[in-house]
Structure 1
Amino acid sequence: MTNRLLTARVHRSGMVFAAAVTLLAAAVWAAHHGVQAAHYGDQAVSRLAAVWAITFLLLLSQTIMYHCERTRRPSPRAHRQLDGLHVAVLLPVYNEDEGYLRLSLESMLAQTRRPDSVHVVDDGSTSGDYAAVRTWWLHAARTAGMATTWQRTPNGGKRHAQAAGVRVSPGADVYVTVDSDSCLAPNAIEEILLPFARPKVQSVAGIVLATNSRRNLLTRVTDLWFVTGQLTDRSALSAMGAVLVNSGPLAAYRAPVVRDNLDSYLGETFMGRPVMFSDDSLLTLYALLRGRAVQQPSAIVFTALPEKASHFARMYMRWMRGSTIRSLWRMRYLPVTGWAYWAQLIRWFQVALSTTVLAWLLIVEPVRYGTTPPASFLIVPFLIGWAQALRYLGVIRSDECIRQRAITWLLMPAAVLGSWTVLRAMRWYGMATCARTGWGTRQNGAEVTLNAKTSASETAERTALPDDDTMRIPVVKLLNPDTETTLQLTLPAR
């Protein structure tokens, strides 16, 4: 058993960039070879050649942009100004596993730059009252000298729980939003504040990794897909100050972005129905209307991913419905002169283009012209996926060796196949049913637990150091199939 903090960092390398460009070029060559081998007519060849050229230019532009993203490092003077900010953490809780909730709170105490206040709001959970965790946390926060509140409110949804935290912290300069299963890396809050040294920055997104990434095949592939998206698509947008969606497990906002828009945040409706999801993307939209929204690659958080297909399907459907609503709001409210507006427009174009090309190759060409795509076409999306997922290999985690990361990277074909088939169908279904604005998960209690084999009390044990000037707070075992890793969080005694 190894006792250590769970940490991670994103490694930047010119070799990764060169390898990505090489794989993208190979994908274009494979597509060109496929077009030539299929004996399409001259007009079809010309049309498809134009499609591949546009696709390659978009991918190459994105690759260059996400390698232009930089970790913000302010001056010593700006550091002092950031240290003077009041940072309030908003932590809504609804039917969360006690083990994950306690792990989240422990990570607050282990921060190199602790928040000034933490506001926990139990949004009317039906699976328990968290009495033991609440008692422990109030004592631990008081011992650490950290202001905190713990409220229990009638169930009103995540937004109303966050609003309850905002109302009891009117003096905050920055709000950090986290989920109840978020385990922050020790320097997460310190790092996520750094971009605020630039006055135009209104919100900052952290990088989300999976706590349970190796629990099963679904969590491996989901982690690969999710992390790759953050380090390619969102990193490219961050380079332009135009991040469209911050992630719920870790994001930070200048306080006026939240406070000034609280009424509209709580009262959003779509087709006459209150919107209960897509909270983070709406806060990001508010930030974009005031300035820049960026990502900080060095601000890392670990969160629990769905471990069952049914749970993942409900989560993804909620994302797609929320994405549909939010994209309409962006086109309506974002200024046409901003990068974010055009990023949304290009995203629509890419979805339409990829869907049209897929339908043409698999339906129109065989039925109308009697030609089928050659087998060489199958390798094109895999090469593109592996090229983008090279960024996944650049994430160095304290609980995983590069061999394990490489094994997951090799699973990219599974992510590509799922994205082009099941997820594509779910995307269109989500768009068609976006008026269904309910949350859809955790209605019957926690769907992911910290340790499926033992209870929370058995996975977290408190120990004390009798002859030291530090206090050691709970040691929590993470269940990994290959290694047994523990998180050991320590903080100075006060």
Structure 2
Amino acid sequence: MGLLAIKMFMALFYRPAKADRQGLEYLEQSWVTAVIPIYNEDPVMFEQGLRSLLAQSRLPNEVHVIDDCSADPGGIRVAKKLRREFEATGVKYTVSVQPENKGKREALALGFEAAPYSEIFLCVDSDTILARDTVRELLLPLADERVMASTGMVLALNHDSNIFTRLQDLRYGNSFLFERAAYSRLKSVLCCCGALSAYRGTLVRKYLPDFLNQQFLGKPAVFGDDRRMTNYCLMEGQVVFQETAVGYTAVPEKLAHFLRQQVRWNKSFFRESLWAFGHQKKYRPAFWLTCMELGLWLVFGTAMVYSLFILPILHPTSFFHHIGDYAVFMVLMGYLRNVRYLDFPRRGMGFAKRFGMFLLAPLYGLIQLFLLTPLRFYALLTLGKGSWGTRQAGVEVSVGGAEAEVTEIFEEEDPHSDKKVTETLQLLRLEGVALARTAAPRSQAVVQEQPLPTPHLYQQGWSIPQQRVAWGFSAPVEQPWEATQQPGPFQDEYLDPSWPHGQGW
């Protein structure tokens, strides 16, 4: 209870990052590349996600969509369909298809390799819908050079589907507004959410070889990419949570889908926590937070399994004597951990509805105790097995007929963003500060002649011309990056093996 009180205290005093005029100018001129892996997507939901990115008050400079050899071609058709709309805004846009399914990690790496000059990588899941100012708000922490990554606030898009999705929405709120908010006070968020995060390009390039070649128990690591990248960031600097950068993602509506997702997340928790225990610097908060998370789970999980499954058999009288104490503890914990859910503004969800959702907190506690705690032990025992995603042969979650409701998320005014930031940016633009998409990425490094690599991508008629490259940011310094269109179908183009993958970047 003492640790719970400390975490609650830190979460209650959490404040999102802000940036001064100089920081905002830096972010406006930074080169931002969005990387979106897709696999068996619901075409309607994916299109809404891309349109929410297109409607951002701060557009990315580039968008790379990478299809991981989907069985359903609907997603790739949507990606190609929106090419002209993105290019009309000045955004560089590529659509790529892998010849075989290799996993989300490989797909992300293709996007990273395609932009060796990018200063910030924006990682967004294909089923994530962004509020209008989400990208702008997510970048704000990166105005501080000590911050290596920021992660946004993610909630359930389909929370009204059934009571199961409502409980997941409550859990999402708890994991961000309680856990990540508390750890953000120490600048040590342990896991950036894969649905919505931003990373410094220099850091991504430095660790990309290890990211791609990671193995565990002699097998390639194919899940846990978000937690792995967060570990790299914590080795180099700070990782924070930005509450004002809001995204809505589709959560599982069926138990089987949910269980596969939870097994994958729990395996990632164990594997990356063990790795962090051996690699993180001992004087940094991230190391001790990782030790605390592992230790608490070991003690609490073992105690719960014993109390719920073993004690009733060995000492049934004692169990039933204390069952009321267990129930009171579970209810109290559920409400304390979710209290911040009540004061977070939600589009289309007033206080009365939020309060109704809040009352369900103890019910999720039951799921945690009787389903997820044993499932975590199962994940620990099967660490050697894994697959990259929760999708099987086809689309598992769809927005159905809710397209209009989804569109409102990015067409209406964003209730979470900082209005002072909006005013400052308007002033900067009136004063003629160059926007990122019309200016080359900056570099303070020595310039030397070097051709850019051919992207490790299956691209539809795109190649990169030879340019002068500045090591450090590895960015074109004479002019913005330009793609030259060439005729022809998808071509198998691979990265030059002599290209220095992240070494010294």
Q: Same fold (TM over 0.5)?
A: yes
Q: Looking at both structures, which has the greater relative contact order when contacts are Cα pairs under 8 Å and sequence separation is at least 6? A: 1
| Alignment partner, residue 252 of structure 2 | 306
Could you tell me which residue of structure 2 aligns to residue 142 of structure 1? Answer: 87
Q: Hey, what does 1:395 align to over in structure 2?
A: 344
The 1:150/1:360 distance shift into structure 2, 3 A limit, reads closer
Distance 2:315 2:167 in 1: 36
AA of the residue aligned to 2:115: S
The superposition leaves residues 190-231 of structure 1 with CA deviations (integer Å, 9 ceiling, x where unpaired) of: 011111121110010111011101111110001101211111
SS in 2 for 1:441: coil
Q: 1:190 and 2:112 equivalent?
A: no
> Is 1:334 matched with 2:280?
yes
How many Å separate the matches in 1 of 2:97 and 2:226?
22
**Alpha-carbon offset, residue 366 of structure 1:** 8.1
Q: Report the alpha carbon displacement of residue 147 of structure 1 after superposing the two structures with TM.
A: 1.3
Matched, 1:101 2:50: no
State TM-score, norm by structure 1. 0.79
Cα distance in 2, alignment partners of residues 357 and 339 from structure 1: 27
1:374 Cα shift?
A: 5.0
Question: For residues 442-462 of structure 1, what are the alpha-carbon distances to aligned partners after superposition, in whole Å with 9 as ceiling and x for unaligned?
Answer: 2201100121xx5xxxx7xxx
Counterpart of 2:358 in structure 1 is 409
1:439 correspondence with 2:366: no
Unaligned runs of 5+ in 2: 414-505
Conserved 8 A contact 2:131-2:409:
no
Letter aligned with residue 393 of structure 1: L
CA displacement, residues 149-179 of structure 1 (integer Å, 9 cap, x when unaligned): 1111122111111111112212110001010
Residue equivalent to 2:324: 375
Is the 8 Å Cα contact of residues 132 and 409 (structure 2) preserved in structure 1? no
Deviations 1:284-303 (A, max 9, x none): 00100101111111111111
Could you tell me which residue of structure 2 aligns to residue 425 of structure 1? 374
1:293 aligns with 2:239: yes
Change (3 A) 1:215 1:388: same
CA spacing shift, 1:130–1:437, aligned 2, 3 Å = closer
Structure 1 unmatched runs, 5+: 1-55, 460-475, 480-484
Match of 1:57 in 2: 2
2:229 aligned with 1:283: yes
Change (3 A) 1:153 1:392: same
**Separation (CA, whole Å) in 2 of partners of 1:210 and 1:131:** 24
Whichever residue aligns with residue 404 of structure 2, its letter is K
Which residue does 2:503 correspond to in 1? none
> Contact 2:131 / 2:410 at 8 angstroms: preserved in 1?
no
Distance 1:249 1:435 in 2: 25
Query: CA offset at residue 318 of structure 1?
Result: 0.7
Q: 1:121 to 1:369 in 2, by over 3 A?
A: closer
User: How far apart are the structure 1 equivalents of 2:81 and 2:399?
Assistant: 18
Partner of 1:27: none
Partner-residue secondary structure (3-state), 1:404: helix
- Residue by residue, what CA displacement relative to the aligned partner does 1:251-297 show, whole Å, maximum 9, x if unpaired? 00000121111111111111111111101000000100101111111
Q: Are the aligned partners of 1:112 and 1:190 in contact in 2 as well (CA < 8 Å)?
A: yes
Question: Match of 1:282, as an amino acid?
Answer: R
Once residues 232 and 289 of structure 1 are traced to their aligned partners in structure 2, the CA distance between those partners, rounded to angstroms, is: 23
- 1:349 correspondence with 2:276: no
Q: Find the aligned partners of 2:208 and 2:306 in 1 and give their Cα distance.
A: 46
Corresponding position of 1:466: none
Q: Does 1:489 align with 2:411?
A: yes
AA partner of residue 59 (structure 2): R
Q: How does 1:222-241 map to 2 (within 5 A)?
A: 222-241=168-187
SS in 1 for 2:132: coil
Structure 1 runs (4+) deviating above 6 angstroms are none
Tell me the TM-score normalised to structure 2 length: 0.78
SS at match of 1:397: coil
Instruction: Kindly state the Cα deviation for residue 359 of structure 1 after the two structures are TM-superposed.
Output: 5.1
CA deviation map 1:398-430 (0-9, x unaligned): 122222211111111110001011000001100
CA–CA separation in structure 2 for the residues paired with 1:245 and 1:380: 27
Shift of residue 94, structure 1, vs aligned partner: 0.7
CA–CA separation in structure 2 for the residues paired with 1:329 and 1:322: 10
CA offset digits 1:110-149 (Å, max 9, x no partner): 1111111111111111111545423431111122221111
**Which region of structure 1 is more displaced relative to structure 2, 149-158 or 283-292?**
149-158
Amino acid in structure 2 at the alignment position of 1:421: F
Q: Contact 1:450–1:478 at 8 Å: present in 2 too?
A: no
Please tell me whether residue 83 in structure 1 is matched to residue 28 in structure 2: yes
The alpha-carbon deviation at position 478 of structure 1 amounts to: 3.7
Decide whether aligned partners of structure 1 residues 365 and 213 sit closer, same or farther in structure 2, where only a CA change above 3 A counts: closer
| Equivalent-residue separation in structure 2 for 1:446 and 1:82 (angstroms) | 36
